């Protein structure tokens, strides 16, 4: 009744629940999520159940709201280096130099203001010979500068080059570049340490670096990416 009333597909919602359960199992096995024996049993039961009414409720300690920018940043890190740059009426893969167009069903294709940067999941060849990019997501220049690839900081030229110049970020002042360099280094360190030792809680200073990164994503940027 709920699905019918709200024009939702019960089948697709069930598929989403299955994907959520599988993701939680993967995170648990990787040590990134810690569940009690009772929670583990409930998770396994939900996975093995054939009933579409069987759900697993995420523990409250992991059920926290995440901003759209952090979700987009996580997607960008997962799909990197499938990066598209807006050029004219289409897009170019900055790593292969292939020209791509967005799939006809993409919401980014019909946007009033096409996003300058996208990350995408896969590309297939259309009947006209062109490549269609599917499942694209908007990313910002701050994500490119702080999280993706290997960055070289040229203080004399005022330019940050990501992966040997495939993406170039121009900054107006050397202090901005120094702040960006330090923030990038610290965020990479905090994330790397957490992935190696996920069971150890973050130190206050480490959490502050992550909070600063979130602020940088949400705040206005005066840099230029080209």
Q: 13-51, pLDDT tens digit by residue?
A: 888 888 888 888 888 888 888 888 999 888 888 888 766
The domain boundary residue, chosen from 62, 81, 108? 62
Nearest to 171 by CA among 156, 160, 179: 160
d(CA 174, CA 152) in angstroms, rounded, equals 14
Q: Give the mean pLDDT of 114-134.
A: 88
> Based on the domain organization, do 161 and 199 belong to the same domain?
yes
Q: What is the pTM of this model?
A: 0.73
pLDDT tens digits, 153-179: 999 888 989 998 888 888 888 888 899
- Backbone region of residue 129 per phi and psi (left: phi > 0; alpha: psi in -120 to 50; beta: other values): left
pLDDT of residue 20: 87
* pLDDT at 145 > cutoff 70: yes
| Pair 162, 100 in one domain | no
Last residue of a domain, one of 89, 112, 139: 139
Whether residues 82 and 131 share a domain: the answer is yes
pLDDT at 220 over 50: no
pLDDT at 119: 93
Q: Where in the sequence is the domain holding 104, given as residue range(s)?
A: 70-139
Same domain, 121 and 89: yes
**Model pLDDT for residues 208-218, shown as the tens digit of each residue:** 998 888 887 76
Residues whose CB falls within 8 Å of the CB of residue 191, separated by 6 or more in sequence, listed in order: none
Measured in whole angstroms, the distance separating CA 183 from the mean position of its chain's CA atoms is: 18
Question: Are both 31 and 90 inside the same structural domain?
Answer: no
In whole angstroms, what is the distance from residue 21 CA to residue 57 CA? 9
Count of alpha carbons within 13 angstroms of residue 25, beta-carbon side: 15
The tokens describing 209, both together, are 């670096």
Q: Are residues 77 and 125 in the same domain?
A: yes
pLDDT of residue 52: 60
Task: With a cut of 70, say whether residue 226 has pLDDT above it.
Answer: no
108 and 149 in a single domain? The answer is no
Tell me how far apart the alpha carbons of residues 93 and 99 are, in angstroms, rounded to a whole number.
Answer: 7
**pLDDT (average), residues 119-136:** 88
Residues 133, 150, single domain; the answer is no
| pLDDT bracket for residue 188 (50, 70, 90) | very high
Q: At which of 29, 62, 95 does a domain end?
A: 62
**Domains in the chain, number:** 3
Give the CA-trace dihedral at 37, 40, 41, 46, to 10 degrees: 160
Binning pLDDT at 50, 70 and 90, where does residue 190 land?
A: very high
Q: Are residues 168 and 201 in the same domain?
A: yes
The pLDDT value given to residue 223: 42
Based on the fold, state whether residues 116 and 167 are members of the same structural domain. no
The reply to whether 74 and 131 lie within a common domain is yes
Asked if residue 28 and residue 8 are part of one domain, the reply reads yes
């Amino acid at each position: 009744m709920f699905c019918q009333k709200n024009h939702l597909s019960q089948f697709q919602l069930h598929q989403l629940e299955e994907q959520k359960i599988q993701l939680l199992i993967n995170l648990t096995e990787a040590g990134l999520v810690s569940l009690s024996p009772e929670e583990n049993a409930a998770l396994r039961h939900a996975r093995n159940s054939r009933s579409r009414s069987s759900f697993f409720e995420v523990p409250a300690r992991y059920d926290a709201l995440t901003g759209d920018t952090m979700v987009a940043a996580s997607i960008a890190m997962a799909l990197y280096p499938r990066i598209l740059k807006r050029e004219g009426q289409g897009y170019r893969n900055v790593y292969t130099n292939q020209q791509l167009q967005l799939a006809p069903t993409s919401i980014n294709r019909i946007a009033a203001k096409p996003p300058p940067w996208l990350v995408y999941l896969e590309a297939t060849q259309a009947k006209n010979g062109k490549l269609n990019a599917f499942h694209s997501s908007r990313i910002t220049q701050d994500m490119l500068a702080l999280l993706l690839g290997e960055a070289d900081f040229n203080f004399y030229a005022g330019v940050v080059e990501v992966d040997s110049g495939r993406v170039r970020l121009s900054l107006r002042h050397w202090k901005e570049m120094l702040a960006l360099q330090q923030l990038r280094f610290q965020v990479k360190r905090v994330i790397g340490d957490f992935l190696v030792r996920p069971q150890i809680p973050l130190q206050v200073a480490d959490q502050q670096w992550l909070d600063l990164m979130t602020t940088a994503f949400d705040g206005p940027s005066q840099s230029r990416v080209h």
